[in-house]
Structure 1
Amino acid sequence: MPELLHSGELDRVEYDIERGKIREFARATFATDPVHTDRDAAQAAGFTDVPATLTHTVVAGHQRDQRTFVEALGLALERVVVGSVKWTYLRPLIAGDHVVGTRRVVDDVRREGKRGGSMRILTLETEYVDADGDPVVRLEEVLIERGDHR
């Protein structure tokens, strides 16, 4: 297990949910619902402002020190693939929200593959809280590091 920060924390990220970024994500993900780009449409649908698209928390990757994260886990990046990503929303993220995400390692196991060789399977969880400290999104990521087959 890597050396973790206080309370088992791997890293922390903090950022604002910005209307312009929501628009960019909507365009990039081909989201056609006008609630993501038009404040009037969002308010007509019951939101206080435009809601973020469902994968918006990936913007955190631009705010984090990814090199330090990889080094802290002792990963060989060239052998890492993403096994899965799962988002659990407790409420929509809305333009104007300020979120803080705390990422922790929740599982770190080694397994033998069916075709020989080992793999390391890391499960990470990031809990995002809003400015009031209320949880808004939980993100679970499974990373698979293939063994070195030299």
Structure 2
Amino acid sequence: MSDGKLIGTVVDEIAFDVERGKIWEFARATFTTDPVHTDADAARAAGFDDLPATPTHVVVVGHWRDQRAFVDRLGLALERVVVGSVRWQYLRPLRAGDSLRAVRRVVGDERRDGKRGGSMRVVTLETEYVDATGAPVVRQRDVLIERGKSA
């Protein structure tokens, strides 16, 4: 399905808290060397009121999403899907104590001819993360590519 009917559709909405312990764990797991993400004193000395999350911390929202329902809703064959790109725009740093709501919607859905023959489906998603006041914090743009069926 890539008839454009899904454009504008909200595919999921997730609420999650940015937790100090999870910031620390994520920073350690990703080998982050800047102590502002693991040491509250270093964070305060750098001007933060608490630990700021690492730039890719928002990927943890995937643990709360029902990925199978998401793929089914878009009509994608998961075994043929690759991530074309992911981009984030930060409007302010994520901080320990933030309560965020992430709304992901379809903003593009098209079929393209492949360079080696066949076709592919390109689905573009945008997720807006807002804080408890409703202020936008992060915008994420994902491009998913579903390769055509093998001959």
TM-score bracket relative to the smaller structure: over 0.9
CA distance in 1, matches of 2:30, 2:106: 28
TM-fit CA distance, 1:21: 1.0
Partner residue in 2 for 1:41: 42
Deviations 1:113-141 (A, max 9, x none): 01101100111000000000000000000
Aligned-partner SS, 2:11:
strand
Asked if structure 2 preserves the Cα contact closer than 8 Å seen for 1:3 and 1:72, the reply is no
CA distance in 2, matches of 1:29, 1:88: 20
Partner residue in 2 for 1:144: 145
TM-score by length of 2: 0.94
TM-fit CA distance, 1:24: 1.5
Aligned length: 148
CA distance in 2, matches of 1:60, 1:42: 23
Partner residue in 2 for 1:59: 60
Partner residue in 2 for 1:92: 93
TM-align CA RMSD: 1.4
Letter in 2 for 1:101: A
CA distance in 1, matches of 2:80, 2:25: 30
TM-fit CA distance, 1:83: 0.4
Partner residue in 1 for 2:114: 113
TM-fit CA distance, 1:58: 0.5
Partner residue in 1 for 2:102: 101
CA distance in 2, matches of 1:21, 1:48: 17
Deviations 1:42-100 (A, max 9, x none): 01101110000000110010001111100000010000000000000000000000000
CA distance in 2, matches of 1:41, 1:140: 31
Aligned-partner SS, 2:22:
helix
TM-fit CA distance, 1:8: 2.8
CA distance in 1, matches of 2:107, 2:29: 31
Partner residue in 1 for 2:9: 8
Aligned-partner SS, 1:57:
helix
Percent identical pairs in the alignment equals: 69
Alignment of 1:61-76 (within 5 A): 61-76=62-77
